[in-house]
């Protein structure tokens, strides 16, 4: 059986969830479950006007691919797409997309969750907040809860 190859993209432009699912499932008859996760930019009750996403070009893609391959192997996924945006992102806009496909639902749910938990803690992206009052805000701090979410898979 050939190993599933993840589709990994790091891009400044938006993505189309429906189109990405269609691409992943086109011509396939082995997929029984597709789970998607989309992460969006929040306005933090009006305090935030934008997020600026910085990334480490090259390493960001490589790390996302490594995480994707781990998920494919661990959960026997038959399809995986992970897309992460960079640059300036406004509240309401998309930041990240994960699509996990499997023969049964639990593997697809777990695969998508696993990819997100590892992506947050080890893919080289950093968020800077722009405040609604025009002030350039602070870099977002890493959360212990994200480390805990990742560690629960070990």
**Nearest residue (CB) to other proteins, 78 versus 96:** 96
Q: Which stretch binds other proteins (CB under 8 A): 17-25, 28-36, 71-79, 141-149?
A: 141-149
Tokens read off for 137: 């805000």
Smallest gap from residue 32 Cβ to other proteins (A): 27
Q: Which is nearer to other proteins, 12 or 103 (CB)?
A: 12
* One-character DSSP codes across 127-139: EEEEETTS-EEEE
Select from 15-23, 73-81, 102-110, 116-124 the region that touches other proteins (CB under 8 A).
116-124
Asked if 96 touches other proteins (CB under 8 A), the answer is yes
Which CB atom, from 91 or from 124, has the smaller least distance to other proteins?
Answer: 124
- The answer to whether the beta carbons of residues 11 and 86 sit under 8 Å apart is yes
Is the Cα torsion angle 142, 85, 16, 49 positive or negative in sign?
A: positive
- Indicate whether 121 belongs to the interface with other proteins (CB under 8 A): yes
State the residues that interact with other proteins by CB under 8 A. Answer: 39, 53-56, 58-59, 62-63, 84, 95-96, 116, 119-128, 139-142, 146
């Amino acid at each position: 059986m050939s190993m599933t190859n993840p589709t990994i993209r790091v891009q400044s432009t938006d993505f189309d969830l429906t189109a990405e699912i269609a691409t992943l499932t086109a011509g396939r008859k082995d997929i029984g479950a597709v789970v998607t996760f989309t992460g969006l930019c929040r306005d933090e009750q009006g305090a935030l006007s934008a997020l600026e996403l910085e990334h480490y070009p090259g390493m960001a893609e490589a790390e996302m691919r490594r995480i994707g391959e781990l998920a494919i192997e661990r959960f026997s996924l038959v399809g995986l797409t992970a897309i992460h945006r960079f640059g300036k992102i406004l509240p309401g806009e998309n930041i990240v997309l994960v699509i996990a496909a499997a023969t049964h639902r639990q593997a697809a749910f777990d695969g998508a969750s696993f990819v997100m938990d590892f992506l947050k803690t080890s893919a080289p992206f950093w968020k800077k907040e722009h405040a609604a009052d025009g002030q350039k805000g602070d870099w977002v701090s890493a959360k212990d809860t994200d480390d805990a979410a990742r560690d629960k898979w070990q």
